[in-house]
Each structure stands twice: as C-alpha cells, then as structure tokens.
Structure 1
C-alpha cells in the first residue's frame, strides 16, 4: 500500500511526522516548516488520502517505513501526535538505531483500564468511564474516516489503551510531551480526566524524558510554535551530544 505524503523539504536531520487518530498529514502544515531539518508527513492507512485497509500495527509500520525509504529519508527522527505517538514508540522498538523519537501526548487512551486512574474512587471511575465512552460513541457516529472497522479496533487495542509498556522497552532517546489541560468534556467528567493524568504521571517509565506543556491534546494545531521549539531543542541535544 502506498501512503499519501507531503515532503516539506529542509536541510539537516530527517523528521518523519505521524498524525493522530482521525487526522491527516495536514495536521503538520504549520509546525513542519519550523523544524530544523527535512520533514515528511504521511497519511496513515485509512486516513486522509491514503487507501483503506484493516488496521494491523506491523503492516502500518511497514507502510510508513516504505514511504520513508521512497522519499530517501535515512534513519529519521519520528515525531507522532496521539496515535502517531504510539507509532513513534513502536518505530523506535523496530529501529534501535533511531536517533530519537517523540510522542506528542500519545500515551494512554482517555478510556483505559480502571487501574490506570489515580486518586478517584473505583465507583466514580466506573461511572465516569461509562459516561465518557457514551460521549465518544456519539462523536464517532459523525466520523466517516477512518472506517468504523479501524475505529472499533483501535478503541480496544492494547497498544492504544496503554502505550507505556511499549515506551518502557524503548532504548533510543524518547521524549513524551505531556499536555496538562483537559480535552473539552462536561464538567462532571473533569475528575476522571485529572485521575487519568495522575495515573499517567505515576506510571511513566524511567527511560522516558517528559516535558509538560500547558495545552490540550490538540497541541500540534493549537501550539505549533511551542511544540516545534521543544522538538528542535530535544533533537539538537541528541545530535550535538
């Protein structure tokens, strides 16, 4: 399968940019030109202008790798947002010689396992998850791409439910940019969001470098200048070490 891609050009290190669930390579249009290197953004399978197919993690990684090779990217830094951040971790496992990988608020689904919420009573977690899942179900009804099949698979995929076990196995320099502001949810779901973030901070692997940013999950679109500066600083330290 050939993926749609945009080569933003530039000189220096290569950057491979992976969008989040329901997004496309257009997500990076403001941020990519600010990176200190050559940036390539792709549409993942089932997204944007790329073909449809059932989601298979290894096949998706194969397609991303073939796209990078096609465009002549040699050992790129992989930067992903949300779902793309999980893929960045999987890429780093597959490529232990990767110079660096960055996850932009890609870590755990907001509707993960109950034990991943910290500081909230179990019954409150159960009630909050039921209401949040109902909210997401209603939102997904309005999404036409990716397919319902991909959405259903990813919502229950262990990799997306909790990517921290993946990150813990990464040996390359790995940066997680953690958004500290809640996504738009009804006020009565804010305690669940706070418990989610508290559990995430509790469980972050020691090998992951964490930088927090005052932004929501959509930080690539809302704070492109700040995110680009964070990525540039992290990558320049790796290449100049």
Structure 2
C-alpha cells in the first residue's frame, strides 16, 4: 500500500510517499523544480528490491518553505529517516537529488550506498568545457547564463484561471512526446501548484530557485568523488534534452568533463564508480526507469 504523510522536520513539514514493502529502505530524491510524484514510475520499478520512500524537497511539492542550504536539506532527509524508522537507508537522487545523495554518502559512511542520476552542477567555467575553443566557450557560457536568467523570471509567477487549462494541455503533450505515463506527469505538474487567496502560482519560488542556482554553481563534485567513505555510483547522460540542443557543443564538452571527473574520482577512491547510460538524457528517470531500477538495485545489492 502506498502511503502519503507529512513529517515534522522541525522548522517545516516534509511530504513523503512510502511505497511500502519489507525490503531494505531506499530514499529516492527528485531534481530542482520537481517533486516526489515525478519519480513514481522509477519508484514502482525499484519496489521489488527496496522499500522506496520518495519525498518533496523543501520548497517543492507539498513540503514547507524554508531557507535552502545543503545542511538544511540533509537535515530534512535525516528527519524522514528517523521518524519513519529507516535503518541505514540507501539514497538515490536525480539531478539536485543526486547531489544530495552524494553529500549524504559523505556524512553517513554507514549507508549501504548512494546513487546519483546525472546529479551534476551546470557548466559555469571554461575549464569545465574541454575541447571547446576558449573564446567560443566563454560566449556559450554567457548565452547559457542568459537562458537561465530568462527561466528564473518565470519562477513563482501567478497563473491566471484562463491560462491553466492550456498549461495542463501542454503538459499532456509533453508527456506523450517523452513517452511518459501521462497520469503521473500531470500529478507532478499539479503537485507544484499553489492555490492561495484566489490565485495560482508555481513552486519553487524565484527566491528558492536563486538559492539552488548559487548552491549548484558552487558545488565541487570532484572532491566528493575522491573522498566519499560510502559506496557511490554516478550515472551520466549521453545525449541532450531537446532544450539543450541550441547549446549542443557546450553540453557535449561538458559531458566529456563529467566523464573525466568521475573517472578521476574512481581512480582515487575504490568506493567510487561511474557509468554512462546509453541513449539517455538528463531526463533518464522518465526515459529509462526500468534500466535505472536494475542499475540501482544491482549496485546496492552487490
């Protein structure tokens, strides 16, 4: 039986969904701008080998709002583990959730393992774009930064009653284009809507998005890979999302950097492993949930 509940994390409530079962516990974390509903298909695929618990990260879905920091988010995970009586949970996460997963591994060597599903900061420096002409790299980074600024301007905006049906229809079309479960996709879209005082807005807020952008831009995966005391697996994308195609050269160079970074970490640390998932973009949790469930399960049970 799937069970939804709110966990008291101290300064705010954290919404969780427990998929049940008596197998070893696994916390499954979504990415920035997402929520627990978006992991439903992957959670179901993992359930035969794990008791899967998904959660809305602070500022997302049905969880409360609060200042965003790595320490605060890790405290939320710890509160969920304690109050749900999860003994030494493994942690797997996508994107932002993947970064949280590897940080959990840094602080919890007793964990049986952590898995990052393309949990990588975006490119911000020329050194992160090997093989790309430096002048072109600088221009592409400036263009990408401007695109992120444009997306930020849409965060937390008010959605009019006449606009909402069109947005839902566009989400349905996106689900069909991605080959995703339409019902799950729409639940994920609606879960980030906030209805208050007769107005509708979308989570996360612009303030939360700004905090996350700063945290991710400053995130140093290389040092974590080299020093993690917990078995760690990072799964890397091998192709672009449609919205990344205008930056195809930049993202191809950045994927080379991410592979080099993970390979260096694996050479320095026997607990670190990595793989490139064939025919998978950053949306791998939607594109290849069954394959990921097998990869995660095999890694955690080895």
- Give the TM-score normalised by the residue count of structure 2: 0.74
Unaligned 5+ runs, structure 2: 1-11, 157-202
Distance in 2 of aligned mates of 1:143 and 1:160: 21
Structure 1 residues 175-206: Cα deviation after superposition (integer angstroms, max 9, x where no partner): 10111111223645211111101111222212
Check 1:30–1:186 CA distance in 2 against 1; reply closer, same or farther (3 A cut). closer
Aligned to 1:72: 85
Shift of 1:132: 1.2
Q: Which is worse superposed, 65-74 or 150-159?
A: 150-159
Distance in 1 of aligned mates of 2:25 and 2:125: 36
Unaligned 5+ runs, structure 1: none
Distance in 1 of aligned mates of 2:226 and 2:31: 21
Check 1:212–1:84 CA distance in 2 against 1; reply closer, same or farther (3 A cut). same
1:137 aligns with 2:149: yes
Shift of 1:167: 2.6
User: In the comparison of the two structures, how many residue pairs are matched?
Assistant: 236
Structure 1 segment 20-169 matched on structure 2, within 5 A: 20-35=31-46, 36-109=49-122, 111-144=123-156, 145-157=203-215, 161-169=219-227
Check 1:7–1:137 CA distance in 2 against 1; reply closer, same or farther (3 A cut). same
Structure 1 segment 176-191 matched on structure 2, within 5 A: 176-185=234-243, 187-191=245-249
Alignment RMSD (CA, Å)? 1.6
Give 4+ residue runs of structure 1 displaced > 3 Å after superposition.
158-162, 185-188
1:226 aligns with 2:284: no
Distance in 2 of aligned mates of 1:157 and 1:28: 23
Aligned to 2:24: 13
